[in-house]
Chains A and B, each alone.
Chain A
Amino acid sequence: MAEFLSFRDGDAAQEPAVTVEAFTGQSNATAVRIEPGDDARELLPHLGRIALVEVNFPVFGDGRGYSAARILRESGYDGELRAVGDVLVDQIVAMRRCGFDSFRPDKPLDDAAVERALNRYADVYQRTIDGRSPVWAKRRPETQNG
Chain B
Amino acid sequence: MGDLTMYRYDSYDQAIVDARVEEFRDQTQRRLAGQLTEDQFKPLRLMNGLYLQLHAYMLRVAIPYGTLSAAQMRVLGGIARKYDKGYGHFTTRQNLQYNWIKLSDAPDILAELAKVEMHAIQTSGNCIRNISSDQYAGVDAAEVADPRPWAELLRQWSTFHPEFTYLPRKFKIAVIAADEDRSAMRLHDIGLKLVSRDGVIGAEVYAGGGMGRTPMVAPLIRDFVTEDEIVAYLEACLRVYNRYGRRDNKYKARIKILVHEIGVEEYRRQVEEEFAHMRQQGLNPPVEELARIRAFFAPPAYETGLSDKIDRADPAFALWVDRNVAAHKAAGYAIVNISLKPQGGIPGDASAEQMELVADLADRYSLGEIRVTHAQNLVLPHVRKADLPAVWQALEEAGLAEANLDLITDIIACPGLDYCALANARAIPVAQKIAARFADPQRQRDLGELKLKISGCINACGHHHAGHIGILGVDRKGVENYQLLLGGSGAQDASLGQITGPGFSEDGVVEAIEKVTDIYLEQRQDGERFLDTYRRIGMKPFKEAIYG
A121 contacts across to B, CB distance below 8 A: 16, 19, 160
Rounded to whole Å, the gap between the CB of B131 and the closest CB of chain A is 13
Number of interface residues of A (CB under 8 A): 38
CA of A39 to CA of B274, assembled, Å: 13
B15 touches A67 (CB 8 A): no
Per-position contact with B for A57-85: 1 when CB-CB < 8 Å, else 0?
Answer: 00011111011101000100000000000
Separation of A135 and B289 alpha carbons in the complex (Å): 10
Query: CB within 8 A of A66: which of B16, B166, B281, B283?
Result: B166
Q: Which of A66, A122, A140 is in CB contact (< 8 Å) with B289?
A: A140
What secondary structure prevails in chain B residues at the interface with A? helix
Instruction: Tell whether A139 pairs with B162 under 8 Å between CB atoms, given A64-B243, A120-B19, A125-B156.
Output: no
**B162, A94: Cβ atoms under 8 Å?**
yes
Is B239 located at the chain interface by the 8 A CB criterion? yes
Interchain CB contact (< 8 A) of B164 among A63, A95, A136:
A63
Whether A127 contacts B15 by the Cβ 8 Å rule is: no
Residue ID in chain A nearest B232 by CB atoms: A127
Residue pair B281, A123 in contact (C-beta under 8 Å): no
Q: A67-B239, A67-B242, A135-B12 are in contact. Are A126 and B288 (CB under 8 A)?
A: no
Q: B15–A123 contact, CB under 8 A?
A: yes
Question: For A68, what are the chain B residues with a Cβ–Cβ distance below 8 Å?
Answer: 243
Q: Are B288's CB and A125's CB within 8 A?
A: no
**Contact between A135 and B160 (Cβ–Cβ < 8 Å)?**
no
- What's the minimum C-beta distance from B525 to chain A, rounded to whole angstroms? 52
| Max chain B C-beta neighbours (<10 A), residue from A63, A123, A128, A138 | A63
- Asked whether, in the complex, the Cβ of A98 is within 8 Å of the Cβ of B162, the reply is yes
Interface string of A113-138 (1 = CB under 8 A from B): 00010001111111111000011101
- With beta carbons under 8 angstroms apart, the residue of A63, A74, A126, A129 that contacts B166 is A63
A23 to B471, CA, bound (A): 55
Answer yes or no: B23 CB below 8 A from chain A CBs: yes
Q: State A74–B156 Cα separation when bound (angstroms).
A: 22
Given A63-B242, A128-B162, A143-B288, the answer on whether A90 and B44 have CB atoms closer than 8 Å is: yes
Given known pairs A63-B164, A66-B162, A123-B15, the reply for A135 and B286 (CB within 8 Å) is no
Cβ distance A129 to chain B, nearest Cβ, rounded Å: 8
A residues neighboring B (CB under 8 Å): 36, 39, 60-64, 66-68, 70, 74, 90-91, 93-95, 97-98, 116, 120-129, 134-136, 138-140, 143, 146
Q: Chain B interface (Cβ within 8 Å of chain A)?
A: 10, 12-13, 15-16, 19, 22-23, 26, 43-44, 126, 156-157, 159-167, 239, 242-243, 247, 277, 281-283, 285-286, 288-289, 292
Q: Can you pick out 15 interface pairs between chain A and chain B where the beta carbons lie within 8 Å of each other? A: A36-B247, A61-B43, A61-B126, A63-B165, A63-B167, A63-B242, A64-B243, A66-B165, A74-B277, A93-B162, A94-B162, A125-B156, A127-B282, A129-B281, A136-B156
